[in-house]
Structure 1
Amino acid sequence: MARMHTRRRGSSGSDKPATDENPEWSDVDAEDIESRVVELAEQGHDPSVIGLKLRDEGVKGTPIPDVKLATGKKVTEILEEHDARKDLPEDLRNLLARAVRLREHMAENGQDYQNKRALQNTESKIRRLVNYYRGDELDEEFTYTYENAVELLE
């Protein structure tokens, strides 16, 4: 599949192993995993970082290769159940932070046309994501502006 803003094709990524059961060497209780997920979320980690920490550090020294196989729920579902979810989706928040950084850079360096194009592409992605999340995760009246992005990230 081609990239969104270029004509090149991207490099292929790795696929998850096709298994439908948790490995026997990872025999941690689902409640312990859920409590660790909530603990990491309270420390300020995003769902993707929580998954990496569980994979690398584990719970009580035992790594968790896949939270969904071990608990039957995704990390975001666990966070929703325990009211530890953040108000913005992770992908949208990361794009907003990138757009704010690029806008501040453009204020100082007006002749940087590559970053001007990167800012246009990032804002385009943000508008598409806002349309996707509007109604479910975001208000119906939400529109992206630089001022809204700065306010949401603070």
Structure 2
Amino acid sequence: MARMHTRRRGSSGSDRPAADEPAEWSDVDADAIEDRVVELAEQGHDPSVIGMKLRDEGVKGTPIPNVKLATGKKVGEILEDNDAAPELPEDLRRLMERAINLREHLDENGQDHQNKRALQNTESKIRRLANYYRGDEIDADFNYSYEQAKELLE
């Protein structure tokens, strides 16, 4: 897929191996996995971090290579079922954090034209994502502003 704000192509990454059933060596109960997902969410971890922790640390010492194959649900679905889902979608939250950091940098370094452009691109991405999530994941009257983003993330 091409990049949004450049003319270059995107970098390709490795693909996950195609599998239809969970690994035989990872025989952890689905309820134990869901409990661990909720526990990690209560500790303040994002869904992507939860997936990495389950892959690396696992449940009771047994790694979970793929939560969806083991439980039949994605990490986000497990969090929604247990009322532990984050307020904002993770990608929108990360972009807002980046925009706040860029804005604070530009307050100190006003002549940094490269980061002015980076801030414009980041805020453009935030507005696009807000349009995508509006009504479902975020309020229907949500409009991005620096002050509102700073308020939401504190």
Q: TM-score, normalised by structure 1?
A: 0.98
Using the TM superposition, give the Cα deviation of residue 16 of structure 1 relative to its aligned residue in structure 2, in angstroms: 1.4
Give me the whole-angstrom Cα distance separating, in 2, the residues matched to 1:29 and 1:2.
40
CA-to-aligned-CA distance 1:53-78 (integer Å, 9 cap, x gap): 00000000100000000000000000
Give me the whole-angstrom Cα distance separating, in 2, the residues matched to 1:28 and 1:98.
37
Give 1:16-27 correspondences, 5 Å limit: 16-27=16-27
- Kindly, what percent of the aligned residue pairs are identical? 80
Structure 1 counterpart of 2:83, one-letter code: D
Structure 2 counterpart of 1:108, one-letter code: E
Give 1:137-152 correspondences, 5 Å limit: 137-152=137-152
Give me the whole-angstrom Cα distance separating, in 1, the residues matched to 2:91 and 2:11.
20
3-state DSSP of counterpart to 2:65: coil
Using the TM superposition, give the Cα deviation of residue 17 of structure 1 relative to its aligned residue in structure 2, in angstroms: 1.0
1:104 match: 104
Asked if 1:70 is matched to 2:73, the reply is no
Using the TM superposition, give the Cα deviation of residue 11 of structure 1 relative to its aligned residue in structure 2, in angstroms: 1.5
How many residue pairs end up in the alignment? 154
Give me the whole-angstrom Cα distance separating, in 2, the residues matched to 1:97 and 1:25.
39
Give me the whole-angstrom Cα distance separating, in 2, the residues matched to 1:131 and 1:2.
20
Q: TM-score, normalised by structure 2?
A: 0.98
Using the TM superposition, give the Cα deviation of residue 29 of structure 1 relative to its aligned residue in structure 2, in angstroms: 0.1
2:54 match: 54
Query: Which stretch shifts more, 6-15 or 23-32?
Result: 6-15
Structure 2: unaligned runs, 5 residues or longer: none
Which aligned runs of 4 or more in structure 1 are off by greater than 4 angstroms?
none
Structure 1 counterpart of 2:116, one-letter code: K
Using the TM superposition, give the Cα deviation of residue 10 of structure 1 relative to its aligned residue in structure 2, in angstroms: 1.9
> CA RMSD of the aligned region, Å?
0.6
Give me the whole-angstrom Cα distance separating, in 1, the residues matched to 2:116 and 2:44.
31
3-state DSSP of counterpart to 1:10: coil
